[in-house]
Amino acid sequence: MAEQPTTTQPTAKYRADYQAPEYTITDIALEFDLHDTETHIVATSQIKRLADKQVPLVLDGDGLKLVRVEVNGEAWTDYAETDTGLTINGVPAEFELTIETEVNPEANTLLEGLYKSGGGFCTQCEAEGFRRITYYMDRPDVLARFTTKVIADKEAFPYLLSNGNRIDSGDLENGRHWVQWQDPFPKPSYLFALVAGDFDVLRDTYTTMSGRNVELEIFVDKGNLDRADYAMTSLINSMKWDEERFGLEYDLDIYMIVAVDFFNMGAMENKGLNVFNSKYVLANAATATDTDYQGIEAVIGHEYFHNWTGNRVTCRDWFQLSLKEGLTVFRDQEFSSDLGSRPVNRINNVRVVRGPQFAEDRGPMSHPIRPEKVIEMNNFYTLTVYEKGSEVIRMMHTLLGEQNFQAGMKLYFERHDGTAATCDDFVQAMEDASGIDLSRFRRWYSQAGTPVVNVATDYDAESKCYRVTVKQHTPPTAGQEEKLPLHIPFDIELYDSRGEVVELQCNGKKVHHVLDVTEAEQVFEFDNVEEKPVISMLREFSAPVVLEYNYSDDELAFLMVHARNEFARWDAGQILLAKYIRENVKRVQQGEAFELPASVVDAFRGVLLDEKLDPAFIAEMLTLPSENEVAGWYKTVDVDSIHAVVSQLKAVLASEMEDELSAIYQTLAQVEYSISHEAMAKRALRNTCLSYLANTENGDKLAAKQYKQSDNMTDTMAAMSAANNAGLACREEQMADFSEKWTHDGLVMDKWFILQGKNPAENALENVRNTMSHAAFDLKNPNRTRSLVASFCANNPVRFHAKDGSGYQFLTEILTALNASNPQVASRLIEPFLKYRQYDEQRQALMRAELEKLSKLENLAKDLFEKVHKALEQ
Ligand code: TRP
Ligand code: ZN
């Protein structure tokens, strides 16, 4: 008889179960004796009981070899090793605990805890990685002062780094040396970091607003010094911006950033020692696109801003993650908007919310920005917590205004600096500082899903009254059936037929343009409206909701020209495109031909030819919604029809505007490369023109020529993307040439891997499989894997969803391999499977079968377990 395997099912934690810690750790001294396969760590902690009676000390630990335990310097034997750590019995109310553990950094493919990246050692502790270094109270509400001594071979690892200030160093026999660091700010374990290696260092200094000097150091792999300048500039800009806009100053004498090649996420805000995915540090004209530069600025800013929103005030528990992430994303978005183009930044942030974040809300992992139930914390570093979390902060900013909002920030720091806080603490500070009632607003923290706001308008010429009826409802989400009305800041503007703004009045009194929508249904009446106006709504995307309103083509074309702010003009263009995409999907499904009225083409031609507009903004106006975003408009997604319609829309616009696109393409050629905003804006529009022109007869010639003449990666990639998307003849030669030139550089090759993944050709999967044996590919490197596999599975819907299920089988193979080596990365790649219910029955059945296969994997990691089971249960 077959034996039942005794699998322990992963258990969930609930926000409601939070309990204050029974002990706290005030100080910890760490000593690392670094060796590739056997690193010893001695942790000496000062521990105090907080509970009022004797209780065992329960420490977290994962994958550790325990060497010894001492209490107050004496060997201690009254402890038990458990599945989740170490329980120490009979300890006094206040004592010193010494624990020695051993780990194997070289075998650590999870990239969590202490691991090797390239030749060096580094750590990643958020969220729960510190327990893979030593047994500890690995929870964010235990804040300790850290002292860290790092010992390693001097020749191989000349730089030994940790948090805080370097206080001592020395040489040992056998060619080893040591450095000691001290971080004066108490911090939770997730902010601990250690790096050891050989680097090139870019140095600079920054003088803070109070006149203190801060040493700035960026560590990159040897030979990469010429790629660190933009990161340094961005760091200095971040420090300055946080002083000017938020009044926040840096607090240590040194700020270090290390770029590593093996990293699960973008970057990590460890106190005084940020560890970055090299993708968000390394850039020069030859290797990085303008988008890469923008990513570096945003992520350098993001991690820097965490020093106050995350580190000085941290999270009480991981359910509060959005407290630091939503707020810090809001801050980095504001930073990029203040330094660059606000409308372009807003447009791109909104695209992420309306696309992938709304998609998350529709899937089985749907959760509020403050989740209630978590199995694997790493699964909750989501678009909802980060991007929707930022929208929630932005809504408070809209409701309070900049001044009140900054008063709220000040109060928040006064109350919570040096402590671990909750989301509610933040809202309370905003409420107390402004006197604005946020009681209903708080529902944004507990309610999941995307609200739908339905609007009807009506104009009465006789009474000159314009009536706006606003209804809101939120469709049920996984595990949350009942939904309540939310407090929605609803920003509107009215225009008369000449495009002038109509002042909003109610009973003769001026009213604010941000309406407080708080009920399921509300009517807003405006009087003294002389003629039927055109209404612009949800301006600046004032709330993360779906807007339903029956705009006519004429109104949308009018708003594309007359709306006062650029975001609203872009949005009107998007609504117009959406109308005709939907209509043509229907036509294609009924076997009819694609159709687009000349008036729609003319509206976009008008934008293209408007010389008063910022070229970067025109480029956004002309960017069509992605196939994934379109998919989100349907209950049942027809990937093939959507692909056909989006492609035809592009081709039709290209042929109808070919002359204008060509003329602008030629005019915008630049003689000298620069990364100024102006130069980037011109490249953006020129390359958007190229992406259209690729669909015309001249396309192949243009893309081939641009590739050959390009002196920068932006133009090179634009030529290659155009060739890839349109299947141009020059594609093969470009791909071969690029691969030959860059095989030695994985970071640059990622761009090539992405193109292979997104290749619309019928044999895309075969190419992707072949690409896995490319010399630069490595399934153990998350950047490589994401570039090739995620771009195919998540961003090449037609090929991934091939009817024969071949794409699905491929993803299962990859997930099976990564489940063992790096489940955190696997858990991100599985996302396309979770949406299986949105496809036709045949595809649903195929994807479901793959999910079932995965659910039966031996040693299924918690990360995948949580998602697979939710998807199957839903
Ligand atoms: N706190 C990091 C940030 O948002 C996120 C992060 C980096 C992370 N590495 C991680 C989260 C590993 C979980 C696991 O900036
Ligand atoms: Zn963050």
Residue 328 CB neighbour total at 10 angstroms: 26
- Decide: helix, strand or coil at residue 408: helix
- Which pLDDT tens digit goes with each residue over 239-259? 999 999 999 999 999 999 999
- Of 526, 548, 570, the domain-final residue: 548
608-646: b or e for each residue (b if 16 or more CB lie within 10 Å)? beeeebbbbbbbbbbbbbbbbbbbbeeeebbbebbbbbb
Residue 599 lies in a domain: no
Q: Is the dihedral angle over the CA atoms 629, 633, 638, 643 positive or is it negative?
A: negative
DSSP H helix total and E strand total for the chain: 30, 34
Please give the Cα distance from 270 to 763 (Å, whole number): 44
Please give the Cα distance from 698 to 704 (Å, whole number): 10
Is 458 in the same domain as 501?
Answer: yes
Contact 24, 142 (CB under 8 A): yes
Residue 831 lies in a domain: no
Report which protein residue has its CA nearest ligand 1's atom 1. 268
pLDDT of residue 5: 47
Say yes or no: CB of residue 328 within 6 Å of ligand 1.
no
Report which protein residue has its CA nearest ligand 1's atom 3. 268
> Considering every ligand atom, which ligand is closest to the CA of 299?
1
Q: What angle do CA 661, 667, 668 make, to 5 degrees?
A: 90
Residue 757 lies in a domain: no
- Which pLDDT tens digit goes with each residue over 624-650? 999 999 999 999 999 999 999 999 999
Report which protein residue has its CA nearest ligand 1's atom 6. 268
Report which protein residue has its CA nearest ligand 1's atom 15. 268
CA 419–ligand 1 middle distance (angstroms): 20
Strands 120-124 and 79-81: unpaired
Question: Is the previous residue joined to 421 through a cis bond, with omega within 30 degrees of 0?
Answer: no
Q: Is the dihedral angle over the CA atoms 553, 559, 560, 566 positive or is it negative?
A: negative
Which residues lie across from 457 on neighbouring strands?
468
The letter for the amino acid at 754 is I
Phi, psi of 259 (to 5 degrees): -95, 125
Is 19 in the same domain as 83?
Answer: yes
Predicted confidence (pLDDT) at residue 3 exceeds the cutoff of 50: no
**Quick one: which atom of ligand 1 is closest to the CA of 378?**
13
Is 297 in the same domain as 410?
Answer: no
Is 358 in the same domain as 233?
Answer: no
Please give the Cα distance from 302 to 335 (Å, whole number): 9
Residue 586 lies in a domain: no
> Considering every ligand atom, which ligand is closest to the CA of 275?
1
CA 191–ligand 1 middle distance (angstroms): 10
Is 87 in the same domain as 212?
Answer: yes
pLDDT of residue 9: 86
> Considering every ligand atom, which ligand is closest to the CA of 825?
1
Is 428 in the same domain as 480?
Answer: yes
- Which pLDDT tens digit goes with each residue over 650-692? 999 999 999 999 999 999 999 999 999 999 999 999 999 999 9
CA 383–ligand 2 middle distance (angstroms): 12
Look up the domain containing 96 and give its range: 13-313
In this structure, what CATH number is given to the domain that contains residue 511? 2.60.40.1840
- Of 487, 519, 548, the domain-final residue: 548
- What share of the chain in percent tops pLDDT 70? 99
- Which pLDDT tens digit goes with each residue over 469-485? 999 999 999 999 999 99
DSSP state string for 76-90: ---EEE-SSEEEE-S
Is 386 in the same domain as 305?
Answer: no
Most informative mutation of 122, 123, 124 for ligand 1 (most atoms within 8 A of CB): 124
Q: What angle do CA 414, 415, 419 make, to 5 degrees?
A: 110
Predicted confidence (pLDDT) at residue 7 exceeds the cutoff of 60: no
Is 243 in the same domain as 158?
Answer: yes
Is 112 in the same domain as 253?
Answer: yes
Please give the Cα distance from 11 to 864 (Å, whole number): 13
Residue 788 lies in a domain: no
Residue 502 lies in a domain: yes
* Residue of 126, 128, 297, 303 with catalytic role: 303
303 counts as catalytic? yes
Predicted confidence (pLDDT) at residue 821 exceeds the cutoff of 90: yes
Say yes or no: CB of residue 378 within 6 Å of ligand 1.
yes
Report which protein residue has its CA nearest ligand 1's atom 14. 126
Count of structural domains within the chain: 2
792-813: b or e for each residue (b if 16 or more CB lie within 10 Å)? bbbbbbbbbbbeebebbbbbbe
Report which protein residue has its CA nearest ligand 1's atom 2. 268
Determine the average pLDDT of the residues in 325-329: 99
> Within 13 A of 550's CA, how many CA atoms are on the CB side?
4
Quick one: which of 488, 458, 459 has its CA closest to 471? 488
CA 783–ligand 1 middle distance (angstroms): 15
Please give the Cα distance from 751 to 748 (Å, whole number): 6
CA distances from 336 to 62, 345, 449, 494 (A): 39, 7, 28, 29
In this structure, what CATH number is given to the domain that contains residue 282? 2.60.40.1730
pLDDT of residue 218: 99
Most informative mutation of 114, 189, 265 for ligand 1 (most atoms within 8 A of CB): 265
CA 270–ligand 2 middle distance (angstroms): 11
Quick one: which of 321, 182, 153, 293 has its CA closest to 233? 293
Say yes or no: CB of residue 304 within 6 Å of ligand 1.
no
Quick one: which of 510, 560, 570, 521 has its CA closest to 354? 570
CA 270–ligand 1 middle distance (angstroms): 10
CA 24–ligand 1 middle distance (angstroms): 24
DSSP state string for 354-395: IIIIHHHHHSTT---SS-SEES-GGGG--HIIIIIHHHHHHH
Predicted confidence (pLDDT) at residue 434 exceeds the cutoff of 80: yes
Say yes or no: CB of residue 292 within 6 Å of ligand 1.
no
Please give the Cα distance from 495 to 512 (Å, whole number): 15
Residue 763 lies in a domain: no
Predicted confidence (pLDDT) at residue 1 exceeds the cutoff of 70: no
Is 302 in the same domain as 427?
Answer: no
- Of 313, 328, 355, the domain-final residue: 313
- What share of the chain in percent tops pLDDT 90? 99
**Quick one: which atom of ligand 1 is closest to the CA of 310?**
1
Determine the average pLDDT of the residues in 428-450: 98
- State the DSSP code for 309: B
pLDDT of residue 874: 78
If you count them, how many residues does the chain have?
A: 874
CA 265–ligand 1 middle distance (angstroms): 6
Please give the Cα distance from 801 to 686 (Å, whole number): 33
Report which protein residue has its CA nearest ligand 1's atom 5. 268
Which residue's entry shows tokens 């997104």? 758
Is 478 in the same domain as 434?
Answer: yes
Is 179 in the same domain as 224?
Answer: yes
Which H, E and C letters describe 657-713, residue by residue? CHHHHHHHHHHCCCCCCCCCHHHHHHHHHHHHHHHHHCCCCCHHHHHHHHHHHCCCH
> Considering every ligand atom, which ligand is closest to the CA of 264?
1
Say yes or no: CB of residue 126 within 6 Å of ligand 1.
yes
Determine the average pLDDT of the residues in 273-279: 99
> Considering every ligand atom, which ligand is closest to the CA of 328?
2
Residue 743 lies in a domain: no
